[in-house]
């Protein structure tokens, strides 16, 4: 005689377990754990340019379907729960040059880090299964978005680079001044003049670079480049902030996993 398989073990793991849902019987087939057929998918809000807000999408989807205290589990070696990247504009084929008269703009837009979210795989599946695919924005709007993003990102990276160089120079100058004060280094008039002029020139150049970068960053349209919420205590050294900013500048998606309380 074959033993019956317990219900919880027979359900698909494509979606979160039934206890995570506010109304599981409305959205999910309780026998299989898969989406019900013929459900009305959630329509995602867009702004006047036809753009969705990824943060708003994640918050709205979680609020509509799931209990707030649900902890999204994941295992890095489990393909059914591990975090992966969700492209908020899909599919890849529809945004390819082949489907857009050879234009690369839709693909460039779709691949920007600000419209890609890293999240637990099950949440990723929920978005695909229960929300309506966003319409492709107008090409001119996408082109302007791409242009603005690249401008802001270049300015941001330049800001980090000049900050690193200025911080390094400041440290070197500070060490030299301490050496002079302690008598370890005996400066000559000529060396002092040269050193002071070099330092003056260095700081003038790099602080001007700061100013230019900040000006470029501030004129970028709102919401084009997400600014990281980085807390910096008064005691924290500048190079530690630069390390945080550097990691941010190099990212290729928005990480929503902590927001979803993944354990």
pLDDT in tens, the chain (263 residues): 333 334 445 689 999 999 999 999 999 999 999 999 999 999 999 999 999 999 999 999 999 999 999 999 888 888 889 999 999 999 999 999 999 999 999 999 999 988 999 999 999 999 999 999 999 999 999 999 898 888 777 766 666 666 555 555 555 555 555 554 555 544 544 445 555 555 455 445 544 554 555 555 555 555 455 544 444 444 445 555 555 555 555 567 888 888 786 54
pLDDT at 6: 43
109 token code pair: 């837009």
pLDDT at 156: 66
201 token code pair: 């020139």
Nearest of 101, 120, 100 to residue 110 by alpha carbon: 100
Nearest of 17, 24, 86 to residue 57 by alpha carbon: 86
Nearest of 107, 134, 133, 120 to residue 70 by alpha carbon: 120
**Domain map of the chain by residue range?**
149-251
Say how many residues make up the chain.
263
pLDDT at 151: 78
pTM over 0.85: no
Q: Give the separation between CA 217 and CA 214, rounded to whole angstroms.
A: 5
Q: Give the separation between CA 44 and CA 53, rounded to whole angstroms.
A: 9
Nearest of 187, 159, 161, 160 to residue 173 by alpha carbon: 187
């Amino acid at each position: 005689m074959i033993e019956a398989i317990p219900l919880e073990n027979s359900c698909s793991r494509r979606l979160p377990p039934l206890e995570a849902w506010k109304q599981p019987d409305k959205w999910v087939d309780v026998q299989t754990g898969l989406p019900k057929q013929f459900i009305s998918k959630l329509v995602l809000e867009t702004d006047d340019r036809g753009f969705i807000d990824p943060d708003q999408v994640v918050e709205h989807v979680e609020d509509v379907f799931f209990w707030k205290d649900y902890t999204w589990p994941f295992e890095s070696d489990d393909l059914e729960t591990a975090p992966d990247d969700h492209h908020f504009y899909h599919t890849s084929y529809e945004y390819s040059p082949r489907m857009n008269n050879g234009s690369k703009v839709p693909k460039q837009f779709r691949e920007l880090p600000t419209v890609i979210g890293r999240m637990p795989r099950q949440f990723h599946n929920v978005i695909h299964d229960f929300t309506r695919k966003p319409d492709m924005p107008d090409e001119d709007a996408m082109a302007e978005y791409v242009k603005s993003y690249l401008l802001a990102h270049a300015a941001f990276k330049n800001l980090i680079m000049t900050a690193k160089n200025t911080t390094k120079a400041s440290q070197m100058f500070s060490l030299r001044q301490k050496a002079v004060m302690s008598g370890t280094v005996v400066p000559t008039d000529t060396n002092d003049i040269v050193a002071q002029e070099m330092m003056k020139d260095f700081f003038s150049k790099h602080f001007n670079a700061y100013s230019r970068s900040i000006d470029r960053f501030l004129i970028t349209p709102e919401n084009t480049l997400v600014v990281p919420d980085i807390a910096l205590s008064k005691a924290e050294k500048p190079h530690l902030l630069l390390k945080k900013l550097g990691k941010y500048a190099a990212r290729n998606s928005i990480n929503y996993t902590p927001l979803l309380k993944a354990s």
